[in-house]
Amino acid sequence: MSPVKPGYTRPLDLRHGRIDMSHGSGGRSMVQLIEQIFLSAFDNPALAARDDHAVLTTPPELALGGQLVMATDSHVVSPLFFPGGDIGCLSVHGTVNDVAMAGARPLWLSAGFILEEGFPLADLQRIVTSMARAAADAGVPIVTGDTKVVQAGKGDGVFINTTGVGVTRPGVHLSGSLARPGDAILVSGTMGDHGVAVMSVREGLSFGTTLLSDTQSLHTLVAAMLDAVPGIHVLRDPTRGGLGATLNEIASQSGVGMRLSESAIPVRGEVRAACELLGLDPLYVANEGKLLAICPADQADALLAAMRAHPQGRDAARIGSVVDDPNRFVQMTTALGGQRMVDWLSGEQLPRIC
């Protein structure tokens, strides 16, 4: 007679198992999913308390005049796994960067998962492991979270929302509304890597490229930049809509125009080639590990040197200037020597046909 183990639960089958509705029902299966997949990966004291909230320690900067910063981002990328990353690390990097662009030190993250019935547990574990590694690398713990399951067909595998909280460096004030005529515009590296890497594997587009997404957390680069030039006016990560959309947002917020030089904007050869084939403009392709900085012209050299000294800013470049323009146009001298506008993207960027 075999003895019955008290309270025995069979471990999750992480090789062949799939999400079912019970994993979101509040019962034992849900607890098991949380313990076996999430708690073990995200392990930290706030989460280990197993409350529905995280109780956090006040950061020292607050007493010195630093301010709290909060940002949220939902991630719905398809495919979930792409060259150079996956939805897991992307969901950490995206929110860490949104917080960092305020000139803040990111402190904590929350993570909300919407899982689709039938989603393989092996994929979920791979995503969560990648998320945990990205959070650990960034030194930003995931302190609270939530899991919901939706019926098959009502989701796209997994959606992840992350919210980040950080604290600004005392005395630092960054905003998209602070660009002033005469300021210099800099970028931290090559444009369009993430978007082209994702597009290269997206269904229907078999495009053989070894290009990797640039997805990464940028807060250490931001810290190095603020150490060198505390008076930076604007920082922004040109994600969706790429550099073109980001510059137009800032021009509109600050009530200024911009002048760019196309030949100064770093774009990888592979990205240019892929965009050429697909009829896309790299200026509108998403980045997930690059930033755009605007600072007074006389501090641009110092800022560029600080960026290039950091491994994430090796390819940094000064790409143009802020100008006085009531129309708030972003204009560019093309590599050929012509003149054109870099306008807002209208709708989705769709490939041209011939």
Partner 1 sequence: MKYVDEFRNADLARGLARAITQAVAPGHRYNLMEFCGGHTHAIARHGLRALLPPEIELIHGPGCPVCVLPIGRIDQAIALARDHGVLLCTYADLMRVPASNASSLMKARSQGADVRMVYSAIDALKLAQQHPDREVVFLAIGFETTTPPTASVLRQARALGLRNFSVLCNHVLTPPAMRGILGPAPGNETSAHLHGFIGPAHVSTVIGSEPYRFCADDYHRPVVITGFEPLDVMQAVLMLVRQLNEGRAEIENQFTRSVTPLGNQKAQALMAEVFELRDSFEWRGLGSLPHSALKLRPEYASFDAEQRFAAPYRAVADAKACECGAILRGEKRPQDCRVFGTVCTPDNPIGSCMVSSEGACAAHYTYGRFMTDMPTIAEKPGATA
Give contact residues for partner 1 (rule: CB under 8 A). 204-205, 263, 269, 272-273, 276, 281, 327, 329, 331-341, 343, 346-347, 350-354
- Considering beta carbons, is residue 135 or 332 the nearer one to partner 1? 332
Rounded to a whole number of angstroms, the minimum distance from the CB of residue 340 to partner 1 is 4
Residue 317 CA to residue 304 CA, distance in Å, equals 7
Structure tokens at 265: 């904007």
Q: Which residue has the tokens 């947002």?
A: 249
Terminus-to-terminus CA distance in the chain, angstroms? Answer: 75
Rounded to a whole number of angstroms, the minimum distance from the CB of residue 258 to partner 1 is 11
Cβ contact 131:75 at 8 Å: no
Rounded to a whole number of angstroms, the minimum distance from the CB of residue 293 to partner 1 is 25
- Considering beta carbons, is residue 146 or 315 the nearer one to partner 1? 315
Rounded to a whole number of angstroms, the minimum distance from the CB of residue 156 to partner 1 is 16
Residue 10 CA to residue 208 CA, distance in Å, equals 43
- Considering beta carbons, is residue 63 or 353 the nearer one to partner 1? 353
| Sign of the CA dihedral with 35 first, then 90, 52, and 42 last | positive
- Considering beta carbons, is residue 308 or 328 the nearer one to partner 1? 328
Rounded to a whole number of angstroms, the minimum distance from the CB of residue 140 to partner 1 is 37
- Considering beta carbons, is residue 205 or 309 the nearer one to partner 1? 205
- Considering beta carbons, is residue 124 or 274 the nearer one to partner 1? 274
Please enumerate in sequence order all residues whose Cβ is within 8 A of that of 61, keeping only pairs 6 or more positions apart, or say none.
105, 167, 168, 169, 170
Please name which of 118, 243, 122, 103 lies closest in space to residue 178, comparing C-alpha atoms: 103
Exposed (0-12), middle (13-18) or buried (19+): which is 83, by Cβ within 10 Å? Answer: middle
- Considering beta carbons, is residue 151 or 339 the nearer one to partner 1? 339
Residue 270 CA to residue 267 CA, distance in Å, equals 8
Residue 190 CA to residue 121 CA, distance in Å, equals 35
Rounded to a whole number of angstroms, the minimum distance from the CB of residue 349 to partner 1 is 9
Rounded to a whole number of angstroms, the minimum distance from the CB of residue 275 to partner 1 is 10
Omega within 30 of 0 (cis) for the link into 79: yes
